[in-house]
Amino acid sequence: MMNIDSELLQRFEAGLDPQRLSASAVPAKVIGYGEISAIFQIEGDDDTVYKRLPIFEDRPSAESYKKMHVEYCALLEKAGLQLPAHTTHIVEIPGRPVAVYIAQQQFAGDRLCHRRIHCIDEAGCLLLIERVAAEIARVWTFNAKAGPDTELAIDGQLSNWVAGEAGSRPAQLLYIDTSTPLMRKHGVEQQNPERLLKSAPGFLRWIIRWFFLNDVMGRYYVPRLVYTDLAANLFKEQRPELVPETVAIANRFLKDSEAPLTVKDIERYYAEDKRIWTVFLAFRRMDRWLTTRLLRRRYEFILPGPIKR
């Protein structure tokens, strides 16, 4: 748990212009983008990051998201993962969607594993990837024991893990990507996909819904796909030379009943994933344009600029 200044968050949300951050009443900068949330730092508070989810039609649905986030975090810890200090907070501004903020301890850039792989040698990278793969495996062990009552999903890519201070002895990695909790109870997904779909353009929601339900929400429960995603992300992070060894590491963590991964599988997955997210972002930009320019309404989401993939 951590303490946050709820009055500051209220003022921040009230004075926020998502399309002109520099004009916001409380100065802030975006330090990361998710598919749904944007990650901020508020000026004057260097120790905390805020993940903003402006997707709730009313307070009860924000409350239920918060509750699920709390439960998901507790279960990840029960599975043996280590999380940073965090807390969830609801901010309600009349006439706007209700927002959930997840506050989290802030980590310096080179402690995030997708940055660290650019600062250490190849052997060090592979050691780090091996440790990430082992952390992910805690979830599979948990699911094997707790399932089918409870199953947890995890997004294992390197950008979701934080390592110890550079030069320190490897302590356990911290998992930071808790803002989209997915879990199943008795085989039934507990997350309401319609909430997450709020960030998608209305005119495309029907097709995205189909793809989201059939593909995206399920993939984080499947060891083979989670490790595929981890390996494929090395292309995005511009370290393709690490892919073959990462595939070998992943295969050691797969059950004998699962078909081993090949570099070809990873390449195929990456090509498709890149296409999907590029198209999705292009449509969100189009939606923003329609909303702000044509309809002259407020567009709630903060979108990233060009992404190198």
Ligand X SMILES: Nc1ncnc2c1ncn2[C@@H]1O[C@H](COP(=O)(O)OP(=O)(O)OP(=O)(O)O)[C@@H](O)[C@H]1O
Quote the least distance from Cβ 185 to Mg ion, whole Å.
Answer: 24
| Contact of 153 with 182, CB cutoff 8 Å | yes
- Is residue 173 close enough to count as binding ligand X by CB under 6 A? no
d(CA 239, CA 266): 13
179 binds, among Mg ion, ligand X, none (CB under 5 to 8 A by kind): ligand X
- Is residue 177 close enough to count as binding Mg ion by CB under 5 A? yes
- Is residue 178 close enough to count as binding Mg ion by CB under 5 A? no
d(CA 205, CA 196): 11
Which residues, in sequence order, are bridge partners of residue 174?
Answer: 82, 162
Q: Is 118 helix (H, G, I), strand (E, B) or coil?
A: coil
Q: 116: Cβ–Cβ under 8 A, 6 or more apart, which residues?
A: 110, 128, 163, 166
d(CA 240, CA 237): 8
Region binding ligand X by CB under 6 A among candidate stretches 143-151, 176-184, 265-273, 295-303: 176-184
Within 85-104, the residues that bind ligand X by CB under 6 A are 104
- Is residue 193 close enough to count as binding ligand X by CB under 6 A? no
d(CA 246, CA 230): 8
User: Which amino acid, residue 94?
Assistant: P
- Among residues 15, 18, 27, 34, which is the contact residue for ligand X, using CB under 6 A? 34
Q: 132: Cβ–Cβ under 8 A, 6 or more apart, which residues?
A: 113, 156, 158, 161, 173, 230
Q: How many chain residues interact with ligand X (CB under 6 A)?
A: 21
193 binds, among ligand X, Mg ion, none (CB under 5 to 8 A by kind): none
Quote the least distance from Cβ 272 to ligand X, whole Å.
Answer: 18
Which residue number places its CB atom closest to ligand X? 34
- Is residue 291 close enough to count as binding Mg ion by CB under 5 A? no
Kindly tell me which of 161 and 269 has the beta carbon lying closer to ligand X. 161
d(CA 223, CA 80): 17
Region binding ligand X by CB under 6 A among candidate stretches 26-34, 121-129, 144-152, 163-171: 26-34
Long-range contacts at 291-294 (CB < 8 A, ≥ 24 apart): 292/19
User: Which amino acid, residue 119?
Assistant: C
> Computed from CA positions of residues 195, 198, 200, 203, in that sequence, does the dihedral angle turn out positive or negative?
positive
Region binding Mg ion by CB under 5 A among candidate stretches 12-20, 44-52, 152-160, 231-239: 152-160
Kindly tell me which of 34 and 248 has the beta carbon lying closer to ligand X. 34
Quote the least distance from Cβ 176 to ligand X, whole Å.
Answer: 5
- Is residue 112 close enough to count as binding ligand X by CB under 6 A? yes
- Is residue 39 close enough to count as binding ligand X by CB under 6 A? yes
184 binds, among Mg ion, ligand X, none (CB under 5 to 8 A by kind): none
Please state, as a whole number, how many other Cβ atoms lie within 10 Å of the Cβ of residue 6: 14
Q: How many chain residues interact with Mg ion (CB under 5 A)?
A: 3
Comparing CA positions, the residue from 126, 129, 110 lying closest to residue 167 is: 110
| Contact of 139 with 177, CB cutoff 8 Å | no
Quote the least distance from Cβ 262 to Mg ion, whole Å.
Answer: 25
- Among residues 159, 190, 251, 292, which is the contact residue for ligand X, using CB under 6 A? 159
Give residues in contact with ligand X (CB under 6 A).
31-32, 34-37, 39, 49, 51, 84, 104-107, 112, 159-160, 176-177, 179-180
Give residues in contact with Mg ion (CB under 5 A).
159-160, 177
